[in-house]
Structure 1
């Protein structure tokens, strides 16, 4: 979004009623628990991260999917994330 568009967009908030403002705030804050959960899961998994297929600790970051960091195993080439092989995987 261009700076001029942003200024016009922000100016419209003054014309919202209380309910519309609360709805907007709830919408903007809606992903905060999800983001915090992902950060917590990845921080817990990071020290023990290894390929679930071959158990190798030699990994490369390989993008993101659904907010989670994906990893690629160097020896076997498989990709996974911090939840692979856990009950939370799907």
Structure 2
């Protein structure tokens, strides 16, 4: 890439919104497996999302934590994410979850999946 092209390319970042800049930075950092996992989980949970405390579906988005969208329940005021109340709720290393799932589907041993 020529220096003039690079300057024009970098200048375009100023026109991106916050979410687009974050996605670009994550791509440059190489966090795409984490992002793919989060997008998959939130996409599956979104249609049936309800407050784990009162089961209300009257929610609004309430920021992000650990890469996941947080929600606030309007009736009870509690906050949660798409994983709250699931077996995945407190697990770490989201970027490795898809690889682990592939190992489980392939009937690999736990020791082999850890490699």
Range class of TM-score, shorter chain: 0.5 to 0.7
The TM-score, its normalising length taken from structure 2, stands at: 0.54
- For 2:38 and 2:80, the matched residues in 1 are separated by 15
**Aligned twin of 1:22:** none
Structure 1 stretches of at least 4 aligned residues deviating more than 6 Å after TM superposition: none
- For 2:56 and 2:79, the matched residues in 1 are separated by 12
**Aligned twin of 1:73:** 73
**Aligned twin of 1:44:** 44
The TM-score, its normalising length taken from structure 1, stands at: 0.68
SS of the counterpart of 2:47?
A: helix
Q: How many pairs does the alignment contain?
A: 66
Query: Which structure features the higher share of helix residues?
Result: 2
Unaligned runs of 5+ in 1: 1-5, 8-27
